[in-house]
Amino acid sequence: MPRPLEGVRILAIEQFGAGPFGSLHLADLGAEVIKIEDPKTGGDVSRTVPPYVVDGDSLYFESFNRNKKSIALDLAVPAGRAVFSDLVVGADAIYSNLRGDVPAALGLRYADVAHLNPAIVCCSLSGFGMSGPRMREPGYDYIVQGMAGWMDVTGEPDGPPTKSGLSLVDFSTGYVAALALTSGLLAARRDGVGMDCDVSLFDTAISMLSYLGVWHLNEGYQPQRISRSAHPSLVPFGTFEAADGWLVIACPKDKFWHRLAGALGRPDLAADDRFRTFADRHRNANELSTIIDSILRTRQRADWLTLLRDAGVPVGEVNSVEQALADPQTVARGMIVETEHPTFGTMSTIASPVRVGSTPPDVRRAPFLGEHTEALLTELLNYDRNRIDEAARGGAFGAVSTA
């Protein structure tokens, strides 16, 4: 069976994390993602991100660029732009993650290319979008986590503002861009007319304030950091310490609270007036947490995991990254995939969680810079040798040798 996005061709002008993360999932779903990399700069800058870098490739780059193709193309010279225009004619989408004003400067908007391909979808992922007072500012995950209020609500109450341990703004925006692009493709195939998709890290981060933002907008709620990553309204719901490690216990429904009380050997707590309802438990959260802590510290984490799971209480261990990747659920779900690499050998990467249909993706390593240039020019664009040489002399594929 063909993959869901087979037959979709995407020209990707992308670098670092957010953009490549989004197109990675499109590639895994079968789209032909062609990375257009600037030969003047050595291509996607993430090829050189340490600590694991060998011969113009890195494990960072491999993390985001599986199943893609690469063409070395200089869009700043007329010869390179001409090749790009030929690629646009046969493409379904242009996907970029550049500063918000750069798509206009490089001619990557729908208005710039519609004469070549009226049905093309042009998706821009940027720090702050293609409009607004910050459109010309570079935006990065860490900066946006601060600006969007995330760091103000993360960490211990008496500690400094804290970012997430992962680049969640980058990754979330990559998903948003993939959703925007596929939505645009559906509309273009229905109507025969393409469009722009304007996605930004900042918009995504603001949208993910979700109920905290709605509470503030409507009731003036001022979010505060809560000790031990506890939920702002549901109790108990947070991290708790057993004798030898940490657990996350969640009671988002009264039935889970009753089950937890029974599993802890204290069914009386569920009937206690201090803890009977959500509101009661929220009001007396510190007192309840102290009681639960004192009980949990009497036994090993593995014991509590068995007891609570058997009782039907939502619970999980706080794992290291090593433990998470070795978890039986990770293995059973096929979340680790292997590819062969000339330098790194047999290399493991993280599978896409986007599962559509039953056909697993073919997994290929990330491309070397310009690895598919010749094949794309001859097989896709039907260039002959004279046409390729002419483009090369114009600097389309990098600096022209004077030797």
* Cα–Cα distance for residue pair 30/9, rounded to 1 Å: 9
pLDDT digits (tens, 9 = 90+) for 166-210: 999 999 999 999 999 999 999 999 999 999 999 999 999 999 999
**Gap between the Cα atoms of 224 and 367, Å rounded:** 45
Q: Which residues contact 344 (CB under 8 A, 6 or more apart)?
A: 54, 57, 59, 62
Threshold 0.85, pTM exceeds: yes
Cα-trace Rg, the chain: 26
Beta strands (DSSP E) in 121-211 are 121-126, 195-200
The predicted-structure confidence for 231-280, as pLDDT tens digits, reads as follows 998 999 999 999 999 999 999 999 999 999 999 999 999 999 999 999 99
For the segment 306-324, the average pLDDT, to the nearest whole number, is 97
Residue 240 bridge partners (DSSP): 247
Is residue 87 within 8 A of residue 116, CB to CB? The reply is: no
Paired tokens of 10: 């995407």
Secondary structure (DSSP) of 48-115: G-SSSEETTEEHHHHHH-TT-EEEE--TTSHHHHHHHHHHHHT-SEEEEE--TTHHHHHT-SHHHHTT
Q: Point out the residues that are catalytic.
A: 170
Q: State the Cα–Cα distance between residues 301 and 308, nearest whole angstrom.
A: 10
Pairing of strands 32-37, 9-13: parallel
Question: Is the pLDDT assigned to residue 45 strictly greater than 70?
Answer: yes
**What is the percentage of the chain residues whose pLDDT exceeds 90?**
95
pLDDT of residue 339: 94
pLDDT band at 130 (very low <50, low <70, confident <90, very high): very high
**Residue pLDDT, tens place only, 345-359:** 999 999 999 999 888
Average pLDDT over residues 121-148: 97
d(CA 230, CA 248): 9
Q: Rounded mean pLDDT of 116-130?
A: 98
pLDDT at 98: 96
pLDDT above 90 for 399: no
**What letters, b where the CB count within 10 A reaches 16 and e where it falls short, cover 17-45?**
bbbbbbbbbbbbbbbbbbbbbbbeeebbe
CA atoms of 104 and 32, how far apart (whole Å):
24
Domains of the chain (ranges; CATH) run 9-207+348-393 (3.40.50.10540), 228-241+246-317 (3.30.1540.10)
At 362, the pLDDT band (50, 70, 90 cuts) reads confident
Instruction: Judge contact between 8 and 32, C-beta under 8 A.
Output: yes
d(CA 187, CA 189): 5
CA dist 78 to 107, 115, 271, Å? 13, 18, 77
In 3-state terms, what secondary structure has residue 200? strand
d(CA 270, CA 255): 10
pLDDT of residue 252: 96
Q: Where would I find the beta strands (DSSP E) of 112-233?
A: 121-126, 195-200
Is the pLDDT assigned to residue 35 strictly greater than 90? yes
> How far is residue 59's CA from residue 349's CA, in Å, rounded to a whole number?
9
Q: How does DSSP assign 7-54, residue by residue?
A: T-EEEEE--TTHHHHHHHHHHHTT-EEEEEE-GGGTSSGGGG-SSSEE
Mean pLDDT of 316-342: 96
CB 369 within 8 A of CB 42: yes
N- to C-terminal Cα separation, the chain: 50
Q: Is the dihedral of CA 81, 87, 91, 93 positive or negative?
A: negative
User: What average pLDDT is seen over the chain?
Assistant: 96
CB neighbour list of residue 217: distance below 8 Å, 6 or more residues apart: none
Q: pLDDT confidence of 403, banded at 50, 70, 90?
A: low
Asked whether the beta carbons of 21 and 366 are under 8 A apart, the reply is no
Band of pLDDT at residue 402, cut at 50, 70 and 90: low
How confident is the model at residue 56, as a pLDDT?
81
pLDDT for res 401:
60
